[in-house]
Structure 1
Amino acid sequence: MAESTMKAPKKRIDPVRWARENLFSSWHNTILTLLVGYLIVTSVGPLLNWVLLDANFQGSDPSDCTGAGACWLFINQRLNFFIYGFYPEEFQWRVDIMFGLTGLPIVGYFLVPGGVFGLEEVQSSKWGGLMLTLILAYIGIIASLPIGTLLALGRRSEMPIIRGLCVVFIEVWRAVPLITVLFMASVMLPLFLPEGMNFEKLARALIGITLWQSAYMAEVIRGGLQAIPRGQYEAASALGLGYWKKTGLIILPQALKLVIPGIVNTFISLFKDTTLVLIIGLFDILGTVQSTVTDPAWQNVAVEGYVFVAFCFWVFCFGISRYSQNLERKLDTGHRT
């Protein structure tokens, strides 16, 4: 007769015991718990009133914002501008399709700028808002990962010239702030190009962001490569695998899995750093909000605009973080006892 298996009983959680062990375990923990509780109680109420209860959601102009609550009709009135910038309204369906086909960047490459397949061209100077933020972050992330991987492999190369070039590239780009890179890409890069050759301001910004981010990505990936035991390299060589097969099939998959948190942290940092493009005249989501609150009619709703920007960044950064955690659990091959 087959043996019956029984599930382990669920662990019962005693709230009083948990609070005593975690919140009131000592006199200083008790003081901190009471202080934090007091701050939460005294701040949540006024914040809730400002965000929801006393807020204004409907209206057509600033005069409809009455009371002490937030004026969310400002966001409602300018939402289209905050998302698409100056992108023509009749062509915004292209951007929507690009967002829906995130895994197919080639489609967005033709859809958004247009000029091919009968699509009317839209200059990059009209791109802006959340759309521009996502384009900058997405292209920077997609392009910096393979370049950073090659740089990390080159820095560990046994060929002195390759290793030296990669070391110089990484250290130079990591030593320069992104704001300086954007200035250089916008102002200095055209001076080094052949006569008659020029890139749009957005393309120059993307080149600078990608190269800058690649240097940081290279160091993250190099950390994963150094964490792989030497036996993995020797085992792959014993199987007769060449350098590229050994690296692509054995070493890199393990190294990239180990540094998923570092890679995602770098991606999140890049996503937030895209706001710096405002200094070279590109209006991302923060730039569109700032340009709007300078309007005398809406100058008293700057807080609502910045709260909206912060919320948008939090949603995307939190989503990236949660996806990475799910990916870590899916790829986890660690042995547990």
Structure 2
Amino acid sequence: MEMVVVAPPAPGRLEDLRRRFFATPLQAVLSLACLTIMVFLAWKLLNWAVFSAVFTTSGGPEACQAAAGACWSVIAARWRIIFFGLYPYEEQWRSALACVVVVVMTVLSCIPVFWTGRRIALVWGAGTALFYVLMKGGVLGLAHVGEEAWGGLALTLFIFVTTCLVGFPLAICLALLRRSELPWISRTTGLIIDGVRSLPLISILFTFAVVLPFALPQWLQGDKLYRVILGSALFFSAYQAEIVRGGMQGVPTGQEEAAMALGMRYWQRIGRILLPQAMRNALPATINQFVISFKETSLVIIVGFFEILASGNAAYGTGEWRFAYVEVYAFIAFIYFVFVFSLSRYGAFLERRMSISER
């Protein structure tokens, strides 16, 4: 007679919580103590940020100083400086529209129908060109606004987008050069990549912004903004090149050998066989690199650019709002959180869609 073994029922949620946090008396005491501290801190934060906060500008800074909570009135009074920086007041609609263009471009890039090299290049190229025309002006009846007047969120997004737009193709080229069969090419490329990766980004930005003009003729110097973007793109490409190369190493060598046996040319093997699978393997690390690059845009404040962090400093650093710096930084942190969290959640969605995490 065959014996049937019945598996024990899966523990319920309450039983699982009891086993994980209240298995022993000491563990129960520690869990309750941690829970009490978390509830206390959450209540204090909620009371400061919402219940006791001041949201309107009717009472002015005096009403904020008299209140026990946060002073969100500084955001209501100085939001234009935070978002637009030094951009001319009457032209700030162009800066706002340029930010919308970047968001739309990013959303289109996340739609699978645009996941081809030609379409994604068209979306990013057209979006960046439209962003530049809106910000710079000088055509289509738009007043000219020089790069020295750009600032706020628009400048942060511009640096991030152009860094990725220039750095990503450069990263693919560096990855391909490093796996070249010619030793002098692969070793030279590896030396360049490792040399850039060994330097902090701030030193590269300082070099491109301040030192490089002394080594270049006047006609080759260009604007400081574009030199900083080039340095940021070089730093991005060095790290992304290693990510792409790691993805290539995850592709079985037999596939490329089979493509060679079928008579496919080099660029056909790279574009149709190797790179699609390599980018699929490298997707989690690539999303992480995009997140890091977006956060690193705040470093350009060191070389004199009025990005969103510098705009926040100006929002509370002048006039009667000097006491409200915590609220300004909290608001800027929330803006960074929205963009970074959206990128990370989209990366998690792509991992589930492509089943990368199961490999």
Question: Aligned partners of 1:64, 1:127: CA distance in 2, in Å?
Answer: 33
Cα deviation, 1:133-178, whole Å, max 9, x if unaligned, reads 1111111122211111111111111112321231121011111111
**Percent identical across equivalent pairs?**
39
Structure 1 residues 34, 319: CA separation in 2 closer, same or farther (over 3 Å shift)?
Answer: same
1:116 partnered with 2:172: no
Contact 2:72/2:327, CA 8 A, preserved across alignment: yes
In the alignment, which residue of structure 2 is the partner of 1:85?
85
- Contact persistence 1:115–1:121 (CA under 8 A): yes
Aligned mate of 1:283, from 297, 306, 320: 306
The CA RMSD over aligned residues, in Å, is 2.0
Q: 1:110 to 1:296 in 2, by over 3 A?
A: closer
Equivalents in 1 of 2:77, 2:153: separation in Å? 16
Give the CA deviation at 1:93.
2.6
Structure 2 CA distance for partners of 1:333 and 1:294, relative to 1, 3 Å: closer
Aligned to 1:213: 236
Residue of structure 2 equivalent to 1:145: 168
Distance in 1, Cα, partners of 2:33 & 2:175: 48
Contact 2:280 2:356 in 1 (8 A): no
- Match of 1:87, SS state, is coil
Question: 2:247 matched to 1:249?
Answer: no
Aligned to 1:98: 98
Instruction: Give, as a single letter, the amino acid of the residue that structure 1 aligns with 2:67.
Output: G
Task: Choose which of 5, 16, 19 in structure 2 pairs with 1:18.
Answer: 16
Change (3 A) 1:30 1:259: farther
- Equivalent residue of 1:297, what SS? coil
- Change over 3 Å in CA distance of 1:295–1:97 after alignment to 2: closer
Alignment match, 1:294 = 317
Amino acid at match of 1:83: F
Write the deviation string for residues 63-113 of structure 1: whole angstroms up to 9, x where unpaired.
121321000010111111101111123222323332333322221122211
Distance verdict in 2 for CA 1:143–1:29, change over 3 Å? farther
What residue number does 1:170 align with?
193
Distance, in Å, in 2 between the alignment partners of 1:195 and 1:285 is 30
Partner Cα separation in structure 1 for residue 26 and residue 163 of structure 2? 46
Name the residue aligned to 1:4: none
Which one of the candidate residues 296, 319, 343 is aligned to 1:320? 343
1:51 is the counterpart of 2:49: yes
Q: Secondary structure at the residue paired with 1:290?
A: helix
CA-CA distance at 1:203 after TM superposition? 1.0
Moved more, 180-189 or 29-38: 29-38
CA distance in 1, matches of 2:274, 2:28: 50
1:273 to 287, 296, 300: 296
Query: Is the deviation greater in 26-35 or in 276-285?
Result: 26-35
Structure 1 residue runs of 5 or longer lacking an equivalent are: 1-10
Paired residues of 2:98 and 2:154 also in contact (CA < 8 A): no
After superposition, give the CA deviation of every residue in 1:7-37 in whole Å (9 maximum; x if it has no partner).
xxxx987232121233224556434422320
Q: Which residue of 2 aligns with 1:201?
A: 224
Aligned AA for 1:36? C
1:174 and 1:284 mapped to 2: Cα distance? Answer: 25
Deviations 1:200-231 (A, max 9, x none): 22111111101111101111111111111112
Q: Structure 1 residues 36 and 295, CA, compared in 2 at 3 Å: closer, same or farther?
A: same
Structure with the bigger percentage of helix: 2
Check 1:271–1:38 CA distance in 2 against 1; reply closer, same or farther (3 A cut). Answer: same
Residue in structure 2 matched with residue 68 of structure 1 by the alignment: 68
How many residues of Structure 1 are paired with residues of Structure 2 in the alignment?
A: 326
1:310 aligns with 2:338: no
The question of 1:161 aligning with 2:160 is answered no
Aligned partner of 1:240: which letter? G
3-state SS of the aligned residue for 2:218?
Answer: coil
Aligned letter for 1:315?
V
Closer, same or farther: CA 142–22 of 1 in aligned 2, 3 Å: farther
| Cα distance in structure 2, aligned partners of 1:196 and 1:335 | 53
| d(CA) in 2 for partners of 1:212, 1:122 | 28
Paired AA for residue 45 in structure 2:
L
Instruction: Give the TM-score, by structure 2 length.
Output: 0.85
Selected match of 1:224 from 247, 262, 278: 247
- Structure 1: how far apart are the matches of 2:46 and 2:232? 39
| Equivalent residues of 1:98, 1:105 under 8 A apart | no
Show structure 2 runs of 5+ residues with no match: 1-8, 106-126
Tell me the amino acid that sits aligned with residue 115 of structure 1.
G
